[in-house]
Structure 1
């Protein structure tokens, strides 16, 4: 198969005018710098709890020795997550921050280990890792003579890269590993094609040689051809194993690249099934050391394997834990998945793909439907060739989505790894089709008009970057920063209790609380003790506000009792989206609650999809000295007042809850 057969045209081949002008890479470098800048701002948006609770919360507790909310996936009885990659991607940056902070504190008496640095340091590491996808895309395009400028600009302008690519998601690591895997496989395919082409050419020359001298020369040239069958075998196997231990769903993403790596050149005169079986065996053997490494590290971390057991030679199979197997065992049980939400099988194709890639997603789905139609009509020649780069990218997009659609729990972030295949296949489709110079529409001072697809692409990515990067749960980080300052300035024997409603889980690692489980030794008295906890959180999720009020009353009663018996002061807070403040006031006013409240602070902007702002209707709220209440019969008198009340709903309220000193009578 000749190398030139892989080339496909980015522009309309029927256009006979001037050759298309290459796009400048200046927009790409601007977008690449923007990715770093948005990471350092930082983005206050809180996309999903897993960006903290599957990496930062776990690793920060071990590296910084602080109190954290350790998620159930990392429990020691049945762990389903490997700790190796999180320690490499999050643990190393936090270790550097801890040591560098201690040096700065010692030399300059400045504490740089703040909530800001704890938030930004792991994200900056994730941001730098995301550039692996850019580099992989560039190298693939160069290997196959494709337009890398358009694709790089499209990739860098995607909100998937700007937002998800700078967060510590395991899905982000899947994107990085799959991009690197696709680059290595594409490089192997290109290299094998060239070697096989030369080998077949020299074989024909050897067969038609007329003299022994000519045959000897051709034989020497064939012998000088480099080996290609096992190129990058160890690296491909290592990346595959690392991806599976990072998240076992990586099997679905890695299957197409591995399939194409094994089938390189199969069917040609020089590559047969013997080479296929040799590649398969070598691939399996190459992955075994990495598998053993991950298993041993996880077994030590979760306490299944200890040094004493190794020294006493009391090691059995029960001393090892294989987290991917536990992950699969947990997720094949539909009852377990029901706890996280069940979704229809078509959600990935009809909702998640367009949500992640808007124009590119719709084009990808339409292209896939056309492929199915052509296959049903037996138009085999119009389908991607099995050993081409288009076939590799198409399979790397379709196969994972079909596989993941079989599982009833589906989230958009699960499809982040297919970003590179989508961009490679369809980025050039958004560019305006070149027209004849006479028909080309030109705007004075701006050049050719931008295609409407490209306009839609940039518009949606800007909106989604603003929404997920800064608005969605955007008040949580400022809240944690405020609580961190309060924990440092509060009186010594004062305990904080924080109740959250219709808000994501609070990442306690940002508070840098002393590890309450750590045993402290007093050298003067010789006693051992544990520091008492001074911060408690109570997550109410999306439960009705009536239950939230009952929870507050119970907590207030317990705190008052401990205040009398143990002489412990307390501060009780409620964290609530501003869009629910009116309902909360109404419930308190109608139920004659035993506590009063006051607004300590409001953090803007904040949008909670569990409690969206009310764009139509509404009521004005009033407050007396006891409790706030609303008059639902009042109507906004002016558009400015309506806009003002609407903007007030885009916030996260921190309310101080105290015991009512006197009763309130309703007239």
Structure 2
């Protein structure tokens, strides 16, 4: 480091490596998409678990690519299946293994790209150090987000483009320099761009400004765009074929018979783009102000210290670098889209961490020009700001990496151990999930396909029971208590249709057991304070490291209590 921090940076770096493994194995649940756009569908397909199929994979116009999921998640799941490990592992253990895979691959590729892209040892150490100590890297990158995959693909693309840019600059200095063909890198770039587009349609925005250097390179090397296009087209054809066959749009034989029939093919990036171009669709996921990324999400990602390191003295000497241009273009273009979530900016973390200007806080060198010495900030500020960086990221790590919805997965594992692990279920189970994120049902490990999944909310409170199922999981999200109360009464009364249907299920032999899964704070505030409730619950399981950030009541301190409970109706 160019200034002396109060904590030894090598020690912090080594501790951060251990934290990678710790948070890859943590139970935090940051957003439903990390399950329902990845693990939920792949586990159902490969491991034959009963799952709740998300709309992106079940609509007439599928918006997510099977090819991407097969490439990044299928190998480890197929390995578990063919080796027979599935019979010995709970689904939660499989989840941990995939998370570890995400962490290790992301770690290796990120460090490799930053090391190869940055010119000096000091720059490499700085970029890798701040990237590794960011809570976004530690808490989000191992999760099943498409944004986590996008981060790796963006970094590989920017590394290649920056290398081509360096080649051009060398040629400008000396026209006699032999310009290599870079065939492998150009081909890889085309492949990565294709993977990036099929993974997330937003991927090209991070290449918008750096593409200028790509065009300049292609002016010197005329065949370079052809090589990139070849890699892109070949990969895209393969991905389209996989998606077309998987979504059942056409069989392989039908494609061979009439390969020019465009209607046969499923183009998931196009479907995704069309869906997200509709304002009515975006409003269902949340509409934000156009400055949300710049004024809210970026400060939440980097904190006050990161912003100071990024713009010391409201300047940045890295603004012409390829990583900075990539991040700037990506943030700016994404700000045009009214739906703006923090995780959409995950790829900018390693890019902008490499642009932190810590030299502004270093002691002036004797050989520096007087003008340069004047630009230096007080060296004493550096360690203080670095400690603020530690404190900010440690706080967010505890919140997002451990506590946030942390009990959902362990609760599902409890039901797997208690009811689904044995193939001889003697009673039906009704799960009512309230005030939690949607439970990723594949963690139940229901290989018998015995569970019906029903999502209900205040706008849609109707549901039909499948008589062939012996278990029901209700995902009620943030349902109003009056309607939740109505649902509990319906499932608990022996003369209700749902009750009788469960008794007639293909495996149920006795009265179904009814469970409410909800934050302990919500249960204590609502159920224990309402004497008129005609039924009683008994807590059978609890998990302390769970925090529900969506239902805080500042007039009641009980709402801030952590913990998730499973309550059996008695």
Please classify the TM superposition score into its range, dividing by the shorter chain length.
0.7 to 0.9
Determine which of 149, 156, 164 is the counterpart of 1:188.
Answer: 164
Equivalent residue in structure 1 for 2:279, among 334, 340, 354: 334
Task: After TM superposition, give the deviation of residue 535 of structure 1 in Å.
Answer: 3.0
Counterpart CA distance in 1 for 2:256 and 2:248 is 15
2:515 to 561, 568, 573: 573
Secondary structure of the 1:66 match is coil
Q: Give the alignment of 1:259-298 within 5 angstroms.
A: 259-264=212-217, 274-275=219-220, 279-298=224-243
The corresponding residue for 2:403 is 471
Q: CA 1:349 to 1:564, structure 2 compared with 1: closer, same or farther past 3 Å?
A: closer
How many angstroms does 1:254 deviate by?
2.3
Query: Are 1:502 and 2:439 counterparts?
Result: no
CA gap 1:133/1:229 in 2 versus in 1, 3 angstroms: closer
CA distance in 2, matches of 1:517, 1:548: 24
Distance in 1 separating the partners of 2:300 and 2:184: 37
Match of 1:398 among 301, 308, 328: 328
Aligned counterparts of 2:446 and 2:11: Cα–Cα separation in 1? 45
Q: Do the aligned residues in 2 keep the contact of 1:94 with 1:121 (CA within 8 Å)?
A: no
| Aligned counterparts of 2:148 and 2:331: Cα–Cα separation in 1 | 16
**Which segments of 5 or more consecutive residues in structure 1 lack a partner in the other structure?**
1-9, 13-18, 106-110, 203-221, 265-272, 372-381, 385-389, 438-446, 519-529, 619-644, 659-667
What secondary structure is seen at the aligned counterpart in 2 of 1:339?
helix
Deviation, structure 1 residue 569: 2.4
Q: Secondary structure at the match of 1:54?
A: helix
State yes or no: 1:607 paired with 2:556.
Answer: no
Please say if residues 469 and 502 of structure 2, whose CA atoms lie closer than 8 Å, have aligned partners that are also in contact. Answer: no
Output aligned runs, 1:384-423, within 5 Å.
384=319, 390-423=320-353
RMSD: 3.3
> Aligned runs of 1:571-650 on 2, under 5 Å?
571-585=513-527, 588-589=530-531, 592-612=532-552, 617=556, 649-650=561-562
Q: TM-score, structure 2 length as denominator?
A: 0.85
3-state SS, counterpart of residue 248 of structure 1: coil
- Superposed displacement of residue 338, structure 1: 0.7
CA shift for structure 1 position 189: 1.9
* Contact 1:140/1:187, CA 8 A, preserved across alignment: yes
The structure whose Rg is larger is: 1
User: What is the correspondence of 1:136-535 to structure 2 with a 5 Å cutoff?
Assistant: 136-142=113-119, 147-199=123-175, 202=176, 225-228=178-181, 232-264=185-217, 274-275=219-220, 279-310=224-255, 312-313=257-258, 316-359=261-304, 361-363=306-308, 384=319, 390-426=320-356, 428=358, 432-434=361-363, 451-487=383-419, 488=421, 492-516=425-449, 532-535=468-471
| Worse overlay, 154-163 or 181-190 | 181-190
d(CA) in 1 for partners of 2:522, 2:172? 67
Contact 1:354 1:360 in 2 (8 A): no
Judged with a 3 Å threshold, the aligned counterparts in structure 2 of structure 1 residues 363 and 276 are, in CA distance, closer, same or farther, namely farther
Q: Encode CA deviations 1:288-345: one digit per residue, 9 max, x unaligned.
A: 1111111111111111120342465586211101100000100010100111111111
Q: Distance in 1 between matches of 2:353 and 2:259?
A: 52
Unaligned runs of 5+ in 2: 367-378, 452-465
How far the C-alpha of 1:78 sits from its partner, in A, is 1.2
- Residue 24 (structure 1) shift: 6.9
What displacement does 1:160 show?
0.9
Name the SS of the counterpart of 2:156 in structure 1.
helix
> Do the aligned partners of residues 369 and 51 (structure 1) sit closer, same or farther apart at CA in structure 2, a change above 3 Å counting?
same
- Contact 2:186–2:227 under 8 Å retained in 1: yes
Match of 2:345, SS?
helix
The TM-score normalised by the length of structure 1 is: 0.73
2:27 equivalent in structure 1: 44
